Structure 1
Amino acid sequence: MKKLLAALLLTAGLVSPALAQSDEAGKLRLMTFGGEAQLKSTQDAVTRFNAKYPNVEVEIGVDAVGGGWGDFVSRVLQQYNAGEQYDVYHTAVETLQSFAARDLFIPLDDYIATGDFSDFDAKLFDLTKYKGKTYFIPSTWNNIMTNYNRALFAEAGIPAPSKTWTWDEFAAIAEKLTKRDANGNVTQFGYEVPAFFFGLMPWFLSNGTSPVTADWSASNMTDPKVAETLQFLYDLIHVKKVSPVPGQEGVENQFFAGQIAMISRGHWIVQNAIASKLDMDIATQPGKVSNDTVIGFGAYGISSKAQNPELAKALVTELLSYETQVAEGDLGGAVPGRKSAAETENFLKFPPSAPLYYETLPTTHAVPSPANFQEVDQIFMRYFNAIMTDEMTIPDAVAKADQELTRSFERIKRVTQ
């Protein structure tokens, strides 16, 4: 577990005593995640916090979340069991029910009611509730958009996608953007079918369905629209052959190198696109019954075992300040939770359609994140990969996935009721 954590220590000695506003002393442990942009903005926020609380030592742990959010949940549970939990966790929507159902964090409704969160979209707070209480405060977010290479579109004579483009229009464009050599080998793919749960969800949502029910309480795999969606994605790979088979490494790098024309990702790829000098823009999710997409977001929670929850709240206040939010957006991380921080010149200058992130927020749906998310993720992706690699037929995989998911939901109900 320690190999997954990069320990960083910021001490009160870095801050001028002249800036002190509180004599309170203590120590806080903060667990966060993300890349360089997230880490830099977090460090700067802690420095500002120490200007107000110079006698408080803040230890920052960084989890790479390399194995996905299901594995992250397992590591946090291990920390609690070993008495090594942090005071403040920066986590993601995929984990919220898993943690809240186990009473690992304190309710924050009173804190939110008295805080300065007026420019956070109310939808973000709605998505953090569990059984009527709010245990987490949203920080930054990503909704999956269609990221596309504008130069390749122009070269093929294809106009920018409309905000209401359809699955059929998307497939036709992907075919035009796929190139092959004299031997029929693909040299440029039109699209990459995502190989992760979050990235796949827009295809189901835009068809009016999901692998789990709307209330995240049961399997929805037997909905015919689930099989229809899987068939569409399968055909992109094996019939139209406009996408590589999921699971190949370096796919994002192929997109940055101009070898893939479109991928489904969030704002997190912006910095790499800029570094690669990629002429990239974003479009809405292609639609079958709607152009709805999925949202995932980071959120801060305070441990139920925190020794000083009020001091932890003060740290969270700085981590969610306008200054921190602007830094995260400007440095190319996720979309700031404060809309005011997403209206800066730096944030809006790239990609060209950057306002579309917030414009599509009303039609986003939280990535299904039941308390048994780690099992749901693993089960669904195992059968999805079996379909896309021709190991199983869609009907067989759907039936098997439904059986396993049903058993998983039955188990978690026994734990949380």
Structure 2
Amino acid sequence: MQPPGPQGPALSDAVATRPSDRLQQLSRASEAAAHQQDTRPAADSEPRFWQDVLTEQLWQLFAGLHDEADGPEGSTGLPSPAPGSPEASGNARSTGSGGSSGETPFHVTQETARRPCRFLKPICWDPEDFEDAWERPDALPWQSRKLAVPYRMEKVRVLKPGEPLLVTTISSFTRHAFTCGRSGVKVWSLVGQTPGAQLRTCLLSPHSMTLLLGGNSLAGVTVWDLKAPCLHVRHALPCADLTCQALAASPRDSLALAGFSNGTVRIWDLRNQSVVRDLPGPQDGAKTLVTAERQVWAGGLAARLQCWDLRSPKEPQEYHFDSQIMSLSPHPLEDLILVGTANGQQWLQPTRGGQKYTVGCKDSAILGLQFSPLGQWWVSVGMDSLVSVYGMPAGTKVFQVPEPSCITCCDVSPNNRLIITGSPQQATVYQITY
């Protein structure tokens, strides 16, 4: 059976109806609607769709064309034709006495009267859309600057993804830009980039739930929540007028640490973003910073390795090296700190006292090194443009992979399967096979 619609019987009847009959229908419908409005309970104060004769008649015309398609649930609440009227007779003839045609009788739909539709409620706009007041003399009260035509723009960021872009998009909610190239999608943070600001370091928490960012001319060290549905800055740790060049985290104590170029090592409590303590670090600044158990280890260009106990504000222990300390990595299971120096040497320093010992060397400065999650091996990179993997405990060289330029940083994934390296030109991800 063809469903009723604009081409169904209701439309045919409406077209076939003479103008004089239509006017009579409108007149009777107007009187019935007025009677219905007069008999409405006084407590029902909601506005009706029709407030004047013209609107009412237009609604009657529309309802006459579509009531049959709406069915009992789509009833408009219009009064039913009076018994014995031509409309009632015509409906009875079209449906039969028992409704054997299977269609809902038109007069049944009319009898199941429903209250007229209410006025549409006003749209609830986000307050941010109207937070600015437009002060032009000819502006209307509801107008906003954001709805006006712009008259200037200025450049605030330049993003260099290093490849031709296919699509770009931007979010004002999360303050991120997304660039799509043939190699993948890159996510750019637009937060805190004041003139002259530069990122210098970042740190992923041991549980991969938080990202710390620090640098020069920033409002503070920013804490990004990675487990939220949308990337956003959860906290900004205060460090005004300080240049951050190293970051560390102590998950057991919910602490974040930063080493600054003036030699200060600052500790924050992430639970309330308060400053716990400032430690007098290396005078030339902490180039690298790590935590091991309840200890903080810092190394810098003065060729000194310093260690503080977080449980007491005593003077730090110091260990001297022959060259500048460029990178540190704590062993995940043993009381050892791996030290990489500018002359290419690699050392293991016991954290509970004892003599350090060398575990292999490279031909040039070591810029980054990282233990594997279980501590059986570590990766070392630097000016020699080689990704080198060494085994514990003697520092036996396992293999090396060349890259086209010097390598400035590296990391190992928590699942022990991926290595990432960074250079001035690119970042490279390696998959490990055992």
TM-score, with structure 1 as normaliser: 0.24
Larger fraction in helix:
1
Structure with bigger gyration radius: 2
TM-score, with structure 2 as normaliser: 0.23
